[in-house]
Amino acid sequence: MELADRAVGFLLSFISLSIFTYYTFWVIIVPFVDSDNFIHKYFLPQEYAILIPVCAGVVLLCLLCMFVGFVMLKSKKKKA
């Protein structure tokens, strides 16, 4: 079981590092590269650099609020 946990942890770390590297390159480096360069075909337009994290944050905040609400409802039922 410990080996499986390590594999999952390594996979999650690798995915997180890949996303961070891609996003950092997209936001910091690509705007300074000429627009006719081939590298631009690997990245979305710059508007999405803000839109995607904002939407992800809103979704995560909604899920967190729903979780807290369910926990509060569950704890009220246990007291009653």
pLDDT-based confidence at residue 69 (cuts at 50, 70, 90): very high
Q: Report the share of the chain in percent with pLDDT over 90.
A: 81
Q: Which of 21, 18, 23, 14 is nearest to 51 (CA)?
A: 23
CB 31 within 8 A of CB 45: no
User: How much is the pLDDT for 72?
Assistant: 93
CB 30 within 8 A of CB 40: yes
pLDDT-based confidence at residue 80 (cuts at 50, 70, 90): low
Q: What is the pLDDT of residues 18-49, one digit of tens each?
A: 999 999 999 999 999 998 999 999 999 989 99
Reply yes or no on whether the pLDDT at 77 is more than 90. Answer: no
Cα 25–chain centre separation: 16
